[in-house]
Amino acid sequence: MSATLVQTGKVFESKILSSVQSAVKDSRVYDVALFLASPFIGLAYAVALPFVGTGMILYLGFKALKASKA
């Protein structure tokens, strides 16, 4: 009896899933694509950082203000 992995409503045989994952992981195309995409991923993080930080400061400030009124 083989173990199965349930993912998003579909059932995958563990052998098939592991072979696909190893094929993708061993692929040079995946490595090259990730290498070429990495500057854009880093740029997206750098652009999003001020917005996320400002949002967190506002969220925590409103939360503290609401707690101090109670």
Please state the pTM of the whole predicted model: 0.50
Please give the pLDDT value at position 23.
Answer: 67
* Residue pLDDT, tens place only, 30-67: 889 899 999 999 999 999 999 999 999 999 999 999 99
The answer to whether the CB of 15 falls within 8 A of the CB of 26 is no
- Token pair recorded at residue 20: 């696909």
The model's pLDDT over 7-34, given as tens digits with 9 standing for 90+, comes to: 554 555 777 777 777 766 667 888 898 9
Distance CA 20, CA 27 (A): 11
Query: What residue ranges do the domains of the chain occupy?
Result: 4-69
Among residues 2, 33, 32, which one has the least CA distance to residue 19? 2
